[in-house]
Structure 1
Amino acid sequence: MTESYFVCATPRTGSSLLLGLLASTGLAGTPESYFRRPDEQLWADRWGIPGPADPAFDYEAFVRAARAAGTTPNGVFGAKLMWGTLDELVAKLAPATEGRDLAVLEAAFGPVRFVHLRREDELAQAVSWLRAEQTRTWRAGDPDGTAAEPHYVEARITELLDTVAEHTAAWRAWFARYGITPHEITYEQLTADLTGTTRGVLTFLDLDPEAGRPIQPRHRRQADRLNEEWAARYRTETAR
């Protein structure tokens, strides 16, 4: 059985959907974005420990609290990492250890496995990212969302397309550098078969899908006709 695992992704690939599905089983930890810098204070407050705003902030204590919060009774810990978060996590755990990322992670989390989640339709991903960015609604019902009206911005879609490609390539290069074979999933596979895809992750983690609770989504798909219209417009106007 796996001790720890990370869902490695880029924004708008269905990572929150996958985390919720995995958590619902009661077998695969309680995976969340524990190590995203803007959320550290929120998590610290929730756990009742000093956060980054406190001079007494201790990152090792923060990681221990994250492990306690993200681990199910069977001893499995899960968390999500976006590409930019990986470097921050490693640097905070062990400064001046360039080139030893995997060893640093294993020292903090024990034997680790990796799930790589990406999106085949990168244009749809960039469009979804732009809308979430404009409305500050990253998941349905997001309390931080605004009533801002989303608007088409071709240049920003191009920038986000380039970022998606860069970060996806960076994840692949990182896996190759450390000889890691991640469990590969696409957004399209996930949304087409929520249960089957989740069971596949559990099997990869050496967990018995039959031993857990029923698999239940806690998030719903946000894309609508406007996303499709923006994608079609972008293809037409850029021939891309």
Structure 2
Amino acid sequence: MPISPPESWERPRKTLIIASMPRSGSNLLCSKISSTGVLGNPGEYFRHWDTPEVTTVARCLLAASEGKSENGVVAFKLFPEHFDRLQKDIRLTEWFPDPVWVHLERRDLLGQAISLAKAMQDGVWTSGENAVKDAEYTAERIEAALAKIIAGNGRWSAYFARSGIEPLHIFYEDIHDDFDSVCQRVGGLLGLGAPVPATAKVDMQRQRNAQSDDWRRRFLAEAGDRNSFPAVVKPMGNRARKKSGWTFWRR
């Protein structure tokens, strides 16, 4: 039985949800959105695998509090894994009715997969973090990351299609090239009367480096047969993941 909001719950006036997959630029987008001061303070409030003892209700309260800008807009981001857990406990639209959805993707899917394969090993999810260990190249890890990303993007697209939702589609590359336009489009969907203020400088650097470029060259040399058209990109099985030490985040 889904848990309904308590009588003391104040439903947000406006809600912005960023639907994405890891390594899509969601941290950068959330930081830039927060810097406007009027589009909410989106964060990963529903990240349950690090602190499974925190209930979904508590996370809703946290999102409504920490994710709110002074004008009453509440914002947060969701990965498919977040939604999987969330829907077991609550009905999303009971707590956050009629949200505005942004679907964030990355045009360079191979670059995203390489970035995910690296971060899952070295633990560097944002610029400025120190690696916990060296990341090692294998084509199998990149294939698994690519499969995960493609499956997640497909789940979001299917969710929007069957729910009659028309999200605002944004690509990671556009955040760098024309974020002012992105802000105005989001502000318009939220019904904000005035133009969204210019964003403050966000100190977050691109994480692509020489290692990323080397991994791309190696992967294309190993897996880039243009005469081969696989029926589906398959993630590793459990046995292969355990053998390689490669696992995705805990659910």
TM-score range, shorter chain: 0.7 to 0.9
| Runs of 5+ unmatched residues, structure 2 | 1-11, 226-251
Superposed, which structure 2 residues align to 1:143-182 within 5 Å? 145-182=130-167
User: Are residues 1:32 and 2:43 paired?
Assistant: yes
Given that 2:41 and 2:74 are in contact with CA atoms closer than 8 Å, whether structure 1 keeps it comes out as: yes
Higher relative contact order (CA 8 A, sep 6+): 1
Separation in structure 1 between the aligned mates of residue 165 and residue 148 of structure 2, nearest angstrom: 23
* 1:87-132 Cα distance to aligned partner (Å, 9 max, x none): 2112122xxxxxxxxxx21211122111000111111000011111
Corresponding residue number in structure 2 for 1:185: 170
User: Are residues 1:235 and 2:232 paired?
Assistant: no
Shift in alpha-carbon separation, 1:156–1:209, aligned structure 2, 3 A: farther
Shift in alpha-carbon separation, 1:214–1:232, aligned structure 2, 3 A: same
Separation in structure 2 between the aligned mates of residue 87 and residue 211 of structure 1, nearest angstrom: 33
Corresponding residue number in structure 1 for 2:99: 112
Moved over 4 A (4+): none
Separation in structure 2 between the aligned mates of residue 184 and residue 73 of structure 1, nearest angstrom: 26
| 1:80 corresponds to which of 72, 77, 82 | 77
* 1:145-192 Cα distance to aligned partner (Å, 9 max, x none): 435222211101011111111111110000011000000011122222
Q: What SS does the aligned partner of 1:28 have?
A: coil
Letter of the 2:103 counterpart: H
Q: What SS does the aligned partner of 2:160 have?
A: helix
Corresponding residue number in structure 2 for 1:214: 199
TM-score (norm 2): 0.78
Higher alpha-carbon deviation: 209-218 or 194-203: 209-218
Corresponding residue number in structure 2 for 1:13: 24
Given that 1:9 and 1:116 are in contact with CA atoms closer than 8 Å, whether structure 2 keeps it comes out as: yes
Q: What SS does the aligned partner of 1:185 have?
A: strand
Letter of the 1:70 counterpart: G
| Runs of 5+ unmatched residues, structure 1 | 42-51, 94-103
Shift in alpha-carbon separation, 1:123–1:58, aligned structure 2, 3 A: closer
Separation in structure 1 between the aligned mates of residue 178 and residue 198 of structure 2, nearest angstrom: 17
The sequence identity of aligned pairs, in percent, is 30
Shift in alpha-carbon separation, 1:228–1:192, aligned structure 2, 3 A: farther
Q: Which has the higher helix share?
A: 1
Given that 2:32 and 2:202 are in contact with CA atoms closer than 8 Å, whether structure 1 keeps it comes out as: yes
Separation in structure 2 between the aligned mates of residue 20 and residue 196 of structure 1, nearest angstrom: 16
Corresponding residue number in structure 1 for 2:66: 69
Q: What SS does the aligned partner of 2:49 have?
A: helix
Corresponding residue number in structure 2 for 1:22: 33
Separation in structure 1 between the aligned mates of residue 170 and residue 193 of structure 2, nearest angstrom: 19
Letter of the 1:130 counterpart: A
Tell me the matched-pair count.
214
Letter of the 1:77 counterpart: V
